[in-house]
Chains A and B, each alone.
Chain A
Amino acid sequence: MLARLHALLRALTSRRDFEAGLTEELRFHIEQHTEDLVRSGISPEEARRRARMEFGGINTVKEDCREARGLMVFDELERECRYAARQLWRNPGFTGTVILTLALAIGANSAIFSLVNALLLNELPYTHPERIGTLYARTSGPQSSDTRRTIDGEQWERVRDDVPSLLSAVSAMRTSGVNVRAGSVVQYLHAGRVSAQYFDVLVLHPVMGRNFSEDEDRPQGPRTAILSYALWETAFGGNPNVLGQTVLLKSEPHTIIGVLPEGATTPLNADVYTALQPGREGEGQAANFVAIMRLRDAATWQQADAELNRALSGTVRARRVASTNPGARLTYYSVPLQIAATDTLRPQALALMLAAGFILLIACANIAGLTLVRMLRRTDEITIRLALGASRWQIHRQLWIEHLLLAFVGGTAGIGVGFLALRGLLLLLPEHFLPVASVSLDSRVLGFTLSLSLLTSVLSGMWPALITKRVDLRSGRGVIGGGSIRLRQALIAGEVALTVVLLAATGLLIRTLIGLQTIPPGFNPTGVITAKASLDDVRYHDPAAFRDLLTESLTAMREIPGVQSAAVGLTLPYERALLDAVTLSDGKEAGQQITTNEVYVTPRYFDTLQVPVLAGRTFTDADGPDTQHVVVVNQTFARKFFHQENVVGRYLNKNMLIVGVVADTVLSSEARLNAGTAPLTSEETIYLPAAQMVNVRFLTLVHGFFQPSWIVRAASSKGVPARMQRALTSADPQLPISGFYYVKDLMAATLATQRIAVAVLAAMSSLALLLSAVGIFALVANIVAQRTREIGIRMALGSTIRQTMIQVGRSGVGASALGLLLGLILCAGALPAMRSVLYGVGVYDAPTMLVVVLTLCAVTLLATTPILRVARIDPARTLREE
């Protein structure tokens, strides 16, 4: 058996040697025989003749020898592959179109599938991820909701102590940018605050040291830090004696107690971890903690949910929900982290996958159509082959081989296209947008792509293959494709309908994006440069030190040549702002507590951004910590809570005097103060003077959430960032800047999600449009080719070229029109689902629809150009052929 396999392998690998050897061996035989005959007295001529005759047909013998080696199948396959390749090569138009169609369709699919794979299919990189959950709550009643919940200090204590089925931990909602000083190096890094047992929930054991202890996690507990492996390598050079050393985080010394394993990830993905030290005070008063839980051995999720619900139903927060929404029922339950982490992205990912799948179907239908046209043109060839004795199976095999070859080349090109598309897509996505570390073309994606290619080749080859069965040898002419025109028209109508939906959706998203981008920002972003720095630093918990830093750094910045003005603000327009509760002390709703956006600013903030002042004044250097506390409100705030009455001179929080009203500026609505608002919006905002930030706890808290921005307005940006850095360093040498931006770029960052949606959907709908056009083109070309005789006869009977063209073109235009109609009906049903992502444009937007219809008409007309071939049909020749 082994010897046999060996012989086969050798035979396969040394094909050419074999042929040469065979020829030589046989020649040797004949010459030997000739010599022997000559020796026995026959003339050389005669001997040669006899030798040859006795041997028999050399070629037959050779063929028998080849067969004896068991290589016939391979020989034939190779021959057929070569023939198929030659056939395809000879039709570059067809081959190119099919390969391009396949590459685009398969590429789109493999790119989208890579995303779906990374988001939904790949397991989270933790031990037993299916046993890790997070907290959700469902409210039934008038305002029902079902979302992931963050919890406050009291709720955390309940979850920790009263849910025995779960090992629970909490972390801060997001990492915060902090300045980390190890030795003499100060770095700006992402710090994550996690409770004790956080790493136990994830089953992460430090390679060195240990996890946070209960004691370290208590408020005012000892300050300790756990390093990520990468930070340990870069900042400490992988020093094995790092445990017990001190690192300065926010200028506070923290003792290093552990180093995480290489490549270890957490939902926070921070560079360095500190103990959260959650309590009921400060941040613990609000729902600022994110819980993760691991199901203990032998416990079930049902048990855990029951315990969670019991533990949390008695909390203050739950009681408040119950009192503010009478009749509502609040149910807490756990959801696997895998699902929760991708919750918001899953519908988009699946919708994209669906769209990609439809594109693949369109591509299959098209390739089938194109193949059909080609088969028709090859009817003669097939008839001749059949007449020469080829079996139908051989003809079929030939077709299948051509299709497999196309699918293989198309699939390979598709992987390339997919790779590029994925790279492009990931470049578009903002950092930390996806909850996974990386998206790659792994073996599952490659396998998916391969099976897709096979599927397309089967789907698109099946039909033409079935149709060759009908080729009739005797009539000499095939009846290929006769009855299938109607079916193809229906397919194309389907393609067009889908294209219409995609185009309309894209159109609406583009309108939304344009609308958002052209919202008047309420200030002049041109020429404003901003730098952020983290003040989450123990030295700036002191309000006086904070004030000094602002004064010194701003004075230095104002001296930079070309700088017209400089200021500091906690947040800027286009960003999300701090939400805070204030009490109205005046007006109709006096005494009511409301939530508003809140920003602290230095006096020249409004000048620097050129925000128009509508009434009263803005802040001056005279508004200090010891003078009357003042506040500036924006127009929306004034209108919403004071109903356009004169608001200057009124009070908030009893003692804060409103001194001015400024115009609205756009904010990111990421914080979702008002539900259902556009990603950029003008919301109620109050401005406080930075100098009057005298509450230590407040200052500490907001600097944990936000890094304030230094802004300068400069005539030219040349050299300004470096000088800003120097000015900040002169005020505090240990304050690294976390990044420079032009304020106008902030808008782009805020609208990133919308831009990506537009880009992806636009790419998909263009692809669908292109494929539909190819489909119509193929249909019309097919009809022209098929009806050449009929058209010839018609024209011979007096029909004009124009009439004939219209007659032929009608099938394509008809299919397209039907598709358009179907598409519009589909739009009416499907587009309302988009309402939540549209801003400033209705679902049934007439201009968008008009553009869609016009685009489709133009493309249809372009795609029916094969009717021009009608002009080249010579009636006389057609009749002669008849």
Chain B
Amino acid sequence: MLILKAVSLKPLHGYGVLQRIRQISGNALEIPQGSLYPALYRLEHQGLIAPEWGQSENNRRAKYYTLTSAGRRRLREEAAGWNRLASAIAAALRTTSKEV
């Protein structure tokens, strides 16, 4: 979900994805570098992201990933699911003994 979110903002290459996740999560989340690529390939295989070769900032050939429409849908669903879960947990944590 995080990868999808990262890619949804702007087409990114693998290294960019790592940095973006670190950035948007405020350095709180860090994905092990080795497991990023298999994850990317899995998403590509599922048709959620589409690869495209392009020029990097420093003029190198790099593979950029963009979100496909299927990916966008999935991101929405997962985000909604996550929010539901998060608010449910938050609500659960807010309850005090009085309310029981």
Contact = CB atoms under 8 A, between A and B. Distances in A.
B41 A68 contact: yes
B47 A28 contact: no
A7 B45 contact: yes
A64 interface: yes
Contacts of B47: 2-4, 6-7
Contact of A65 (B32, B38, B58): B38
Contacts of A89: none
Contact of A54 (B33, B41, B56): B33
A61 B63 contact: no
A61 B34 contact: yes
B13 interface: yes
Contacts of A57: 34
A68 B15 contact: no
Contacts of A851: none
A3 B69 CA distance: 11
Contacts of B37: 25-26, 29, 61, 64-65
Contacts of B38: 61, 64-65, 67-68
Contacts of A29: 13-15, 33, 37
Contacts of A11: 45
A245 interface: no
A63 to B, nearest CB: 9
Interface in A472-528: none
B42 interface: yes
Most chain A CB within 10 A, of B38, B58, B61, is at B38
Interface of A is mostly: helix
A57 B37 CA distance: 12
B8 interface: no
A4 B45 contact: yes
A21 B54 CA distance: 12
Nearest to B38: A64
A37 to B, nearest CB: 12
Interface residues of A, number: 29
Contact of B46 (A4, A35, A55, A67): A4
Given A56-B34, A61-B34, A65-B37, A28 B45 contact: no
Contacts of B70: 3
Contact of B62 (A28, A55, A69): A28
A425 B55 CA distance: 68
Nearest to B14: A29
Contacts of B46: 3-4, 7
Contacts of B32: 56
Given A3-B47, A68-B38, A28 B60 contact: yes
Interface string A26-59: 1011011101000000000000000000111100
Most chain B CB within 10 A, of A28, A33, A35, is at A28
Interface in B51-92: 53, 56, 58, 60-63, 68, 70
A447 interface: no
Interface string A399-421: 00000000000000000000000
A54 B33 CA distance: 7
A24 B41 contact: no
B63 A7 contact: no
B33 A56 contact: yes
A70 interface: yes
B67 to A, nearest CB: 13
A8 interface: yes
A60 interface: yes
A272 B24 CA distance: 91
Interface in B1-60: 13-15, 32-35, 37-39, 41-42, 44-47, 53, 56, 58, 60
B34 A28 contact: no
Contact of B15 (A7, A21, A32, A69): A32
A28 B13 contact: yes
A765 to B, nearest CB: 58
B42 to A, nearest CB: 4
Nearest to A11: B45
A378 to B, nearest CB: 37
Given A28-B15, A54-B33, A68 B62 contact: no
A14 to B, nearest CB: 12
A668 to B, nearest CB: 75
Contacts of A67: 38
A57 B60 CA distance: 24
A60 B34 contact: yes
A24 B33 contact: no
Given A26-B37, A55-B33, A69 B45 contact: yes
A33 B15 contact: yes
Contacts of B41: 65, 68-69
Contacts of B35: 64
A29 B63 CA distance: 10
Interface string A59-101: 0110011011110000000000000000000000000000000
Given A28-B15, A28-B56, A29-B14, A70 B34 contact: no
B33 to A, nearest CB: 5
Contacts of A24: 61, 63
Nearest to B34: A56
B74 to A, nearest CB: 11
A13 to B, nearest CB: 15
B63 to A, nearest CB: 5
Nearest to A60: B34
Interface string A155-169: 000000000000000
Contacts of B63: 21, 24-25, 28
Nearest to B70: A3
Nearest to B60: A28
A11 B44 CA distance: 11
A3 B47 CA distance: 5
A33 B45 CA distance: 26
A25 B53 CA distance: 10
Contacts of B58: 35
Given A55-B33, A61-B38, A25 B62 contact: yes
A7 B33 contact: no
Interface in A291-309: none
21 contacts: A7-B44, A7-B45, A11-B45, A21-B63, A25-B37, A25-B62, A28-B15, A28-B61, A29-B33, A32-B56, A33-B15, A35-B58, A56-B33, A56-B34, A60-B34, A61-B34, A61-B38, A64-B35, A65-B37, A68-B45, A69-B45
Given A3-B68, A29-B37, 10 more contacts: A21-B53, A21-B63, A25-B13, A29-B33, A54-B33, A55-B34, A56-B34, A68-B38, A68-B39, A69-B45
The 7 tightest CB contacts between A and B, nearest first, are A3-B47, A56-B34, A68-B41, A64-B38, A68-B42, A32-B15, A65-B41
